[in-house]
Structure 1
Amino acid sequence: MDREKDRVNVTHDSLPDPDTGLSEEERQRLNKALMRKLDWNLVPWVSLLYLISFLDRANIGNAKIYGLEKDLHMTDLQYNIGLTLFFIPYSIIEPLTNLALKRMRPKLFLSLIMVTWAICLTCMGFIHNFAGLCAARFFLGLTEAGLFPGVNYYLSCWYRRKELGIRAAVFFSAAAFAGSFGGLLAAAIAEMDGIGGKPGWAWIFIVEGLATLAVGVATYWMVADFPHKATFLSPDERSRVLYRLQQDKQSSASHEKTQNAHVKQALTDWKTYFYMAIYGGCAGSLYAFSLFLPTIIKELGIVHTATHANLLSVPSYTAAVVMTIVIGWYADKSQKRGMCNLAMSVLAMVGFIMMLASNKPGVKYAGTYLIALGIYPTIPNTITWVSNNTEGVSKRGIVLGMVIGWGNLNGIVSSNIYRSQDAPRFILGHSVMIAYLAVFLFGGSLATTLLLRIENRRRRKGLRNRLVENKTEAEIEILGDKVYVLPRQSMSGLKLTSLGPTLFTPLDGLEMAGR
């Protein structure tokens, strides 16, 4: 069957209002019921998937303090190489994964990658040397690559821009929860030490790998496809989802074929590279924190066992879960995502400075809380910022892949800056992370915020109207966020050869497509 022909051909101006004739109160009631239905059917399961993926990539940090390095006769450098090898295929393949998800059914794509990475993780429990670790980590990175950009892209095909931030925050808060849950789980699984002749660290990989395999198989039945084929919605509800996206100047992802123009737009848009810098700042910091937190806590001298170190990492992650959701809610309400990034980056920098400047274990441990509170909310906030300001589902998928891929490539740096010889102060690691936060996250967010304000001012004055003069609606459509025109209903009667500034949507000062 020709899959493209099987898809519904939907354009921004082709969908009728499914609620014509209803009062405003009835519309609001139906929309609230629809949102509850979407939230319960979409967000919990994809959040579980990300919890598992982050648990599976970061559990090597827990395994290390249970003797992984010693049992495999590895040096500290070799361990860091093993960490690094995960990020190389993970980052390179990410820009391509959204194209694969778009061509395949989401449920098939997500279940397929989960089953394959579950096999890779389980195999890590049977390795005997450094070479085995390298091979397993490489293929784990290769197979995990599609989940995070894929789910963010997938959610953007269901929710309007002002609704996406809180959902992305709940989804990503699973990563923080994985940090706390991972420490507890690792401590429990490590008690299997000696069973079957396997050390405790090996059982961490085996048990978690088998659990991932089971969830991966179930995912095929638990994940819905794109809106126009969602079986959990009635025909009217499907129409309502698509109409809401149309009114928000978005598409549902099912109809638009990827064209060379979309690729060119993604590669030539200045916002793409500024967002890559911003995301590199928060992702690099996140990986350094999550991979080495148990080691850092153990070196503080306030605990004497690996289990205690894992348990003391739990509270900071728990606090990060709450802050991530709070910032997601506030950013949706205020549409000031740039300002949220600036505030959170300062909080994280203060935490790293406390770790770097003080010799008191209590002060350093308090610093881990500020780091977690500052870093974790910036990941979903930045991804939502990218999604909101990138119009055209094909371009959005490519840009998200580029941004997330580049950010995760910085995990290579994160994997190599916390060295055993630098314990207990880890001056190199903390200093590099402060630089990452100051230059990329804070500096990038500030520059992007200011440039978007300038661009919005130009659009309000009508200085971008020349881009749509003498163009057909189809030609305007392909311009995407270069113009971000009003919905077609608002253009009725306007002549595209003579336009005033009212053609362009009134925009938030910090976002080009915040409404």
Structure 2
Amino acid sequence: MADIKKKANVEVRHIEDDRISNGPFKEPSLDCDAEFGGTEERKKLEKKLVRKIDARMSIMVIIYILNSIDRNNAAAARLRGFEEDLGLHDQEFATILSIFYVGYILMQVPSNMFLNYIGKPSLYLPVCMVLWGGISCLTGITHSFVPALLTRFFLGFVEAAFFPGALFVLSKWYKREELGLRTAILYCGSLSSNAFGGLLAAGILDGMEGKLGHAAWRWLFYLEGAITIAVAILAIFILPDFPSTSSRWLSPTEQRLAELRMIEDAGGEADHDSSTEGPFYGFVLTVKDWKVWWLSVALTAQVVGLSFNSYFPTLTSTLGYSRTISLLLCAPPWAFASLVSFVCSRHADKTGERFYHIAGSYVIGIVGFIIAEVTMNVAARYLALFLYRNSYGICTACFGLTIIMCFIFRQHLIFLNRRLDRGEEIDGIRDLRELIDDAAEIQEVSVEEIQHARKGFRFAY
């Protein structure tokens, strides 16, 4: 064992010495843009490529709208007899809403590991859409608590594939300075679903009561599930796979550029695993990465702070208006939230700053909680978007925790960037030379290109 450690130390010293003359932080002489006709021609080609990617990725927003609508339609159905027809009592409705997240949590990580393994998001995500659309339809035929509980559990199980899968696909196609805006546009799908879903539910619940002998809330599940299945079939032909396997809609030059620009942006990391790696290897790296844990706690606190969303139609109904008006009142706050999200993310991409954009948004949310807590004025409560007073302390605390964890995350990234500035290796998993050689072999590029990419890589915070 001592001999192994001694050998490892010798190899590490050799690598550190080798960096001085022929390492990843030496500026390579290779012109990486020459194969595209020079720097200016590459910029033109890259703009064209990004537009093509945007056109295909736009269907992600529609899918996320449907994903969120199918997730939250039980809250709208509650206003038209869902609880009464199923004979729900006490906390059974809350249990039906909560059980969704059990399946959702269980499936998210395995789903992305499987997606990485098969490398076919254009098939995997639409198949999951068909499944959750079908399960949504099945919710409409339930007549008691247990069947409704089971459909909600399995709905969460298959819906879990989309959001982490969508972020994974976006990260395979967009550079860091492009990703913030695209992620925000995707997330606007969820925000818009609260507005659009309320309008759709108002129309269905108001006009479909008694049609073909079915209650309006059952039609809500039938129709929204059917729409999801229809869009899923269309998505098979639109969604892209990964850059290395997207030759059917990209020219060879565009495909080459799509791969190379992601290599440069990721600091030379490979687009796919080597023969000695796999999904479980990536899982191990994730568990050992502190950056993931900081962000996970922040996102968990955020989700808890936004948990009122599942009851939003019920909350707006406390304002004293009719059922239809209560559903329509769900739309304006989320339409405004979508606009703010778009503007904030675009500015964050332009400036390259992340933390203060995130923290500022949560501070505004905390102000909204405080407004709602200190007044019973209807206009002020609606403006604040939060209508039940008992949960204000919990939601405010969660938003505060989110800000704290994002700050810790930011400081950790600053620390890692300083190590990179000093020429230190931060992967901590395997030999630097082996990492560079493997990435070059997998991506079919030169070692010099990988070295060039690693030299300029820094974390954005």
TM-score by length of 1: 0.76
Partner residue, 1:495: none
Q: d(CA) in 1 for partners of 2:426 and 2:104?
A: 41
* Alignment counterpart, residue 75 of structure 1, candidates 80, 89, 111: 89
Q: Tell me, yes or no, if structure 1 residue 436 matches structure 2 residue 398.
A: yes
Question: What does 1:240-389 correspond to in 2, within 5 Å?
Answer: 240-248=257-265, 249=267, 253-256=271-274, 257-258=277-278, 261-286=281-306, 288-301=307-320, 303=321, 305-368=322-385
Partner residue, 1:474: 434
Change in CA separation of 1:19 and 1:336 when aligned onto 2, cut-off 3 Å: same
Q: Is the 8 A contact 2:316 2:329 kept in 1?
A: yes
Q: d(CA) in 2 for partners of 1:477 and 1:490?
A: 8
Shift of 1:309: 0.7
* Alignment counterpart, residue 412 of structure 2, candidates 434, 451, 465: 451
Shift of 1:478: 8.4
Shift of 1:246: 1.6
SS at match of 1:20: helix
Shifted more, 136-145 versus 351-360: the winner is 351-360
Q: Is the 8 A contact 1:85 1:134 kept in 2?
A: yes
Displaced runs of 4+ in structure 1, greater than 6 A?
Answer: 466-470
* Alignment counterpart, residue 160 of structure 2, candidates 130, 141, 145: 145
* Alignment counterpart, residue 216 of structure 2, candidates 193, 200, 203: 200
Shift of 1:454: 3.1
Q: Is the 8 A contact 2:33 2:42 kept in 1?
A: no
Change in CA separation of 1:470 and 1:438 when aligned onto 2, cut-off 3 Å: closer
* Alignment counterpart, residue 166 of structure 1, candidates 153, 163, 181: 181
TM-score by length of 2: 0.84
Shifted more, 425-434 versus 309-318: the winner is 425-434
Change in CA separation of 1:246 and 1:504 when aligned onto 2, cut-off 3 Å: closer
Taking only aligned residues, the RMSD between alpha carbons, in angstroms, comes to 2.8
Change in CA separation of 1:255 and 1:188 when aligned onto 2, cut-off 3 Å: same
Amino acid at match of 2:254: E
Shift of 1:455: 3.2
Change in CA separation of 1:152 and 1:90 when aligned onto 2, cut-off 3 Å: same
* Alignment counterpart, residue 35 of structure 1, candidates 28, 46, 50: 50
Change in CA separation of 1:100 and 1:466 when aligned onto 2, cut-off 3 Å: closer
Q: d(CA) in 1 for partners of 2:235 and 2:204?
A: 25
Q: d(CA) in 2 for partners of 1:99 and 1:358?
A: 47
Change in CA separation of 1:123 and 1:506 when aligned onto 2, cut-off 3 Å: closer
Q: Is the 8 A contact 1:460 1:504 kept in 2?
A: no
Q: d(CA) in 1 for partners of 2:200 and 2:164?
A: 26
Q: Tell me, yes or no, if structure 1 residue 177 matches structure 2 residue 192.
A: yes
* CA displacement 1:14-38 (0-9 Å, x = unmatched): x994653724332221111111111
Q: d(CA) in 2 for partners of 1:51 and 1:490?
A: 38
Q: d(CA) in 2 for partners of 1:63 and 1:50?
A: 20
Amino acid at match of 2:336: A
* Alignment counterpart, residue 116 of structure 1, candidates 99, 111, 131: 131
Shifted more, 200-209 versus 430-439: the winner is 430-439
Q: d(CA) in 1 for partners of 2:429 and 2:204?
A: 65
Q: d(CA) in 1 for partners of 2:457 and 2:268?
A: 16
Q: Which has the larger radius of gyration?
A: 2
Amino acid at match of 2:354: R
Q: d(CA) in 2 for partners of 1:103 and 1:467?
A: 22
* CA displacement 1:100-141 (0-9 Å, x = unmatched): 112221111111111111111001111111112101101101
Amino acid at match of 2:348: A
Q: Is the 8 A contact 2:243 2:258 kept in 1?
A: yes
SS at match of 2:58: helix
Change in CA separation of 1:94 and 1:491 when aligned onto 2, cut-off 3 Å: closer
Partner residue, 1:421: none
Q: Tell me, yes or no, if structure 1 residue 211 matches structure 2 residue 217.
A: no
Q: Tell me, yes or no, if structure 1 residue 225 matches structure 2 residue 241.
A: yes
Shift of 1:332: 1.3
Q: d(CA) in 2 for partners of 1:25 and 1:115?
A: 44
In structure 2, stretches of 5+ residues that fail to align are 1-23, 440-446
Q: d(CA) in 2 for partners of 1:113 and 1:157?
A: 20
In structure 1, stretches of 5+ residues that fail to align are 1-11, 372-424, 480-486, 493-502
SS at match of 1:324: helix
Amino acid at match of 1:241: A
Q: d(CA) in 1 for partners of 2:79 and 2:158?
A: 26
Change in CA separation of 1:140 and 1:281 when aligned onto 2, cut-off 3 Å: same
Shift of 1:430: 2.4
Partner residue, 1:378: none
Q: d(CA) in 2 for partners of 1:226 and 1:489?
A: 20
* CA displacement 1:377-413 (0-9 Å, x = unmatched): xxxxxxxxxxxxxxxxxxxxxxxxxxxxxxxxxxxxx
Shift of 1:253: 3.6
* Alignment counterpart, residue 254 of structure 2, candidates 223, 227, 237: 237
Shift of 1:206: 0.6
Q: d(CA) in 2 for partners of 1:506 and 1:103?
A: 26
Change in CA separation of 1:459 and 1:251 when aligned onto 2, cut-off 3 Å: closer
Between the two proteins, the alignment pairs up a number of residues equal to 421
